[in-house]
Structure 1
Amino acid sequence: MKIDNIIDKKLLKNIDIGIIISVILLFVAGIIAISSATGVAYGGSLRYVKIQSVAFVLGLIAMLITLVIDYNTFGEMSKTIYIVSIILLISVLIFGKEVKGSKSWFDFGVVNFQPSEIVKISFILSFAKVLEKREDTLDTFKGILPVVLYIVPIVGLILLQNDFGTALVFVFFIAFMLFAAGIGYKYVFGAVVLGILSLPLLWFYVFEDYQRKRILVFLNPEMDPLGRGYHVIQSKIAVGSGQFWGKGLYQGTQNNLGFIPERHTDFIFSVIGEEMGLVGSVAIILLFMLLIMRCIYIAKISKDSYGKYICIGVMAMFLFHILENIGMTIGMMPVTGIPLPFVSYGGSSLLTNMIAIGLVLNVGMRRQVIRF
């Protein structure tokens, strides 16, 4: 295993400050929003704030450990990482706990852990190695077939957990990684056509009744204003009522009166929109834009294809979460239970995101090709 002593000073000079600043500011904004959503200012429990803070500290430790290990070491372990990922996903199907219709959690009493979160990172690491080895053959059927067969077990196991939202995250970042690796356009076109043609089959034979209703309510929330459309309607009211400057921290009426559901997790952006207004919402979006752009930049300057694909995968994972979460709070995307990175409450998600940031920083730190 390639481990640098503590971390060489030359490597530290290459660390991306923009990413670190954006992550810290997003976490601080998240803690403030979580404290407001859980009513801390009015005597509410500090439990969620404390757990999120502990998760952030653990995430920092995990990130530092990730920085110390040369990222190419993960490439050498890619087969083992892939097998462990499969075992985790099978284990949660057998021994996992069902939460909100998805059997995707391990219950450890004090905390719950969602394996698919960490599998996002492990799959990016292993899949990036597959692409590095096959990037010159992705324009042929013989080259693309093994890649597809590599993807199917992971996505299939997540679908068996009845976690369609997480499966979409995987499909999204896999598509970005394939595109970056130079997949032939005929296969992209074929996949799009196949996806469109399969929609009727998915609608009638794959989607559960609640999933079909969720899509219909997304198209018209008012068709079920007190049921499945309630989340989106109340969220849009909250975001809109914040107007330009917001109602002020801890002053949101939709938030404090409990009209916003899941306001410390999935709908945390609604709290930000109501209390911090357009100014605060745009500030959060700009921080995310900085994070995404820095990930793309590091992918561009990485010393090898493996590092590039890791950064593209992480970037796309973040991008999907951002677009889906913010989109669903303003009625632009269907509700899927996807958290907002570094902002929404959730230990598994925060830990995964911190490790992902560590990987991107790792690639950036080691971007120079060593010459002897």
Structure 2
Amino acid sequence: MQYKRKISEQIYALVILLSIISCVAIYFAQQTGQYENNFVLQQILFFIVGLGICFLISKSNITFVRKHVFWFYGGAIILLLGIVLKVPFTQEVNGATRWYRLAGFSLQPSELVKGIFVFVMAHFAAKYEKNSVKQFFVLASLGLPVLLLLYKQPDLGTTIVYFVTAFTILLVANKSWKWIVGITTTAVLSVSFFLFLLLNHMEWLEMLGFKKYQFARIFTWLDPASDPDGAYQVNLSLRAIGSGMLTGRNGNVYIPESHTDMIISSIGNQFGFIGVSCLLIVFILFIKVLIEAGLTMKKSFSTYLFAGFAMCFAFNIFENIAMSIGLMPLTGIPLPFISYGGSSILGSMICTGIMLAVIRSDSELE
């Protein structure tokens, strides 16, 4: 009981530390003069609201939520479906419809429903853990609608995060090595087939709904010299990070979206290799705590949930940083707890609140 209380305290402490890092990073990012708004003040307000919601969720009755999990899943589907159908109050930015906008505030459902998605996957993985076949088809039936709705926004980067998260829960929960090998082999073959189509039959992928700008980002990533305009943002990001050297530089390098998706480049520019390393250490500690929490849980549901959240955050962090330094194609995905944005902060805080509630619920068995 005391050990799990210690884990909860560590999660709280790391989240607050990341919140402070975020506000400092955004302060320096907006010194380039490209923004008029005071994003630091707004981010502080987002964190205050987010921590409040996190605290309330942490006190929720997990048994009650699991009994009514379909209502939460249905609500998530409705939120995502409204974006795809472009109902009133949806907002289109740069050709993508991913937000609701009402009374001057924007909400991105794909960030808000991450916690619900992981909770639902973990719940049904535990419910059918004794039947590998049924478990696979139930998780696939629940996961595919969410993935398709995310993809149709279009939001390929977030879709990949959700897919990797669900895939991790499925592997951790599955008790059959035959199914684990089969699922893994199928995933590898599917990725290989996609790459084959990308290089040889791009028109087939377009028929499946992939967009030309997505192909352009991939080819620009593979060969930046082929499209200097497409590689412009990543090149600026690399220049900013490189110019920060060991301890950072005095002054700022212009980077588009330096307070949101590309915030790691601003941190690298201002605080150098040491600053980025410190941030990565905090992230690693956060993921380590989640993994340790999952290993100490008594309920299989709790273990699956922490496995899902650990991978969700880890892959999200990797994808954001990798795209900023040219290791992955450019995607519009925020850095958890660090990038500016109410939806991103609120989504991360919802996930944190769920984890804290599950720790408390699991401790009741002891």
TM-score (norm 1): 0.89
Aligned pair partner of 2:317 in 315, 322, 331:
322
Aligned pair partner of 1:132 in 110, 126, 136:
126
RMSD: 2.1
Q: Residue 269 of structure 1 aligns with which residue? A: 264
Q: Residue 294 of structure 2 aligns with which residue? A: 299
Q: Distance in 1 between matches of 2:42 and 2:143?
A: 34
Q: Is the 8 A contact 1:303 1:366 kept in 2?
A: no
Q: Is the 8 A contact 1:292 1:318 kept in 2?
A: yes
Q: Residue 229 of structure 1 aligns with which residue? A: 231
Shift of 1:44: 6.3
Aligned pair partner of 1:97 in 80, 91, 97:
91
Partner AA of 2:74 in structure 1: I
Q: Residue 339 of structure 1 aligns with which residue? A: 334
Matches for 1:170-209 after TM superposition, within 5 Å: 170-182=162-174, 184-201=180-197, 203-204=202-203, 205-206=205-206, 207-209=210-212
Aligned pair partner of 2:161 in 152, 169, 173:
169
Q: Distance in 1 between matches of 2:247 and 2:111?
A: 35
Shift of 1:127: 1.5
Aligned pair partner of 2:31 in 28, 36, 39:
39
Partner AA of 1:34 in structure 2: I
Q: Which deviates further from its counterpart, 289-298 or 107-116?
A: 107-116
1:102-134 CA distances to partner (integer Å, 9 max, x unpaired)? 211101141111111112111111121110111
Among all aligned residue pairs of Structure 1 and Structure 2, give the percentage whose two residues are the same amino acid: 33
Shift of 1:135: 1.6
1:59-109 CA distances to partner (integer Å, 9 max, x unpaired)? 111111111113333222211111111111111222122122221110114
Q: Is the 8 A contact 2:125 2:135 kept in 1?
A: no
SS at match of 2:46: helix
1:303-361 CA distances to partner (integer Å, 9 max, x unpaired)? 21111122122111111111011111111111101111111001000011011112222
Shift of 1:136: 2.1
Q: Distance in 2 between matches of 1:346 and 1:13?
A: 30
Aligned pair partner of 2:39 in 40, 43, 48:
48
Partner AA of 2:44 in structure 1: S
Q: Is the 8 A contact 1:303 1:369 kept in 2?
A: no
Q: Residue 349 of structure 1 aligns with which residue? A: 344
Q: Distance in 1 between matches of 2:63 and 2:164?
A: 24
Q: Is the 8 A contact 1:74 1:125 kept in 2?
A: no
- Please state if 1:216 is matched with 2:207: no
Q: Is the 8 A contact 1:235 1:270 kept in 2?
A: yes
Q: Distance in 1 between matches of 2:67 and 2:94?
A: 37
- Structure 2: any 5+ residue segments left out of the alignment? none
Q: Distance in 2 between matches of 1:233 and 1:93?
A: 32
Aligned pair partner of 2:59 in 37, 54, 68:
68
1:247-293 CA distances to partner (integer Å, 9 max, x unpaired)? 14xx22x1xxx2x1111101100010011001100000000000000
Q: Is the 8 A contact 1:14 1:364 kept in 2?
A: no
Shift of 1:167: 0.7
SS at match of 1:342: coil
Q: Distance in 2 between matches of 1:21 and 1:49?
A: 20
Shift of 1:12: 8.7
Specify whether residues 50 and 63 from structure 1 end up closer, same or farther in structure 2 by C-alpha distance, changes over 3 A only. Answer: same
Shift of 1:195: 3.1
TM-score (norm 2): 0.90
Q: Which deviates further from its counterpart, 234-243 or 65-74?
A: 65-74
SS at match of 2:246: coil
Shift of 1:228: 0.9
Q: Residue 5 of structure 1 aligns with which residue? A: none
Q: Distance in 1 between matches of 2:161 and 2:4?
A: 31
Matches for 1:136-151 after TM superposition, within 5 Å: 136-138=130-132, 140=133, 142-151=134-143
